[in-house]
Amino acid sequence: AQSVTQPDIHITVSEGASLELRCNYSYGATPYLFWYVQSPGQGLQLLLKYFSGDTLVQGIKGFEAEFKRSQSSFNLRKPSVHWSDAAEYFCAVVYTMEYGNKLVFGAGTILRVKS
Amino acid sequence: EPEVTQTPSHQVTQMGQEVILRCVPISNHLYFYWYRQILGQKVEFLVSFYNNEISEKSEIFDDQFSVERPDGSNFTLKIRSTKLEDSAMYFCASSPRVREAHGYTFGSGTRLTVV
């Protein structure tokens, strides 16, 4: 069965420090992977996605993620965190059904940024 | 950039009342979805809809839920008799074709509060 694990429920980093949010997936075929960010009470904003090709994917707001098939991971990184990055981050894998695609989400990681 | 539009952004309803959540998917998309996010939890798939019928549904999507595409543009989720535990953020999504998750797009969500 498809699943996504985000091992860290909360992460706190200092403003200006680097960030890595972990994501591990379970999926039999080549995965399509997403990272979304959600501010409290708000919708899902797509940060980046991986479908194929280059395993290092660039996204919006200075985020990047690296797909590592051998580790079944798709970790999100940012070299220097800004206070406005405080939010909840969700990793998701696409499960292809007969008619359509379903996203399976991880439980999320809440990022806190301290000044 | 094309958007998925959801209305209303917030709805408050009394327990036992029927509620209809509305979505306008991207115009050339063929697959439509509803997801639910209970406060503090992850986003969960509810149902997918293709060619005017449900193509897949989760165990959450029981008999009190129904979906419809009443015209060429709207896609609705109806909850027949709301319960307190139906309080959640509901996201609509659409995608262009099967096995093409590139264009998978979420709306900004409807926050449903059942009192």
Task: Output the pLDDT for position B99.
Answer: 58
Please state, as a whole number, how many other Cβ atoms lie within 10 Å of the Cβ of residue B27.
Answer: 9
Verify whether the Cβ–Cβ distance B98 to A96 is below 8 Å.
yes
Judged on CB neighbours under 10 Å (0-12, 13-18, 19+), A31 is buried
Angstrom distance (rounded) from CA B41 to CA A106? 10
pLDDT (0 to 100) of residue B84: 97
A with B: how many residue pairs have Cβ under 8 Å apart? 75
**Most B CBs within 10 Å, among A103, A109, A110, to test the B interface:** A103
Give the pLDDT confidence score for residue B97 in this predicted structure: 73
Interface test with A, best of B35, B42, B53 (most A CBs within 10 A): B42
Contact list in A for residue B89 (CB cut-off 8 A) is 43
Report the distance separating Cα A33 and Cα A49, nearest Å.
6
Query: What Cα–Cα distance (Å) separates residue B39 from each residue in A4, B22, B78, B79?
Result: 19, 20, 20, 18
Residue A20 identity: E
Looking at residue B58, its pLDDT comes to 94
Mean pLDDT across chain A: 93
Considering only the beta carbons, identify the residue of B45, B56, B111 that sits closest to A103. B45
Sorted by sequence, the CB contacts under 8 Å of residue A74 that are 6+ apart come out as A23, A24, A25, A31, A33, A35, A50, A65, A66, A67, A68, A91
Write out chain A residues lying below 8 Å of B23, CB-based: none
pLDDT tens for B12-66 read 999 999 999 999 999 989 999 999 999 989 999 999 999 999 999 999 999 999 9
Of B35, B104, B109, the CB nearest to A101: B104
Cβ contact (<8 Å) for A100 and B95?
yes
Q: Which of A2, A52, A60 is nearest to A26 (CA)?
A: A2
pLDDT for B66-93, tens place per residue? 999 988 789 999 999 999 999 999 999 9
Residue A111 near residue A19 (C-beta atoms within 8 A):
yes
| Rounded percentage of chain A residues whose pLDDT exceeds 70 | 100
Both tokens assigned to B96: 């262009």
CB contact under 8 A, A100 and B107: no
Backbone angles phi, psi at B102, to 5 degrees: -55, -40
Angle at A86 between CA A82 and CA A90, to 5 degrees: 120
Nearest residue of chain B to residue A89 (CA atoms): B42
The dihedral sign for the CA sequence B13, A104, A64, A78:
positive
B16 phi/psi in degrees, rounded to 5: 95, -15
Query: Are A100 and B91 an interchain contact pair (Cβ–Cβ within 8 Å)?
Result: no
- Residues of A contacting chain B (CB within 8 angstroms): 32, 34, 36, 41-44, 46, 49, 51, 90, 92, 94, 96-108
The yes-or-no verdict on residue A80 having pLDDT over 80 is yes
Residue-wise pLDDT for A28-69, tens only, equals: 777 899 999 999 888 999 999 998 888 999 999 999 999 999
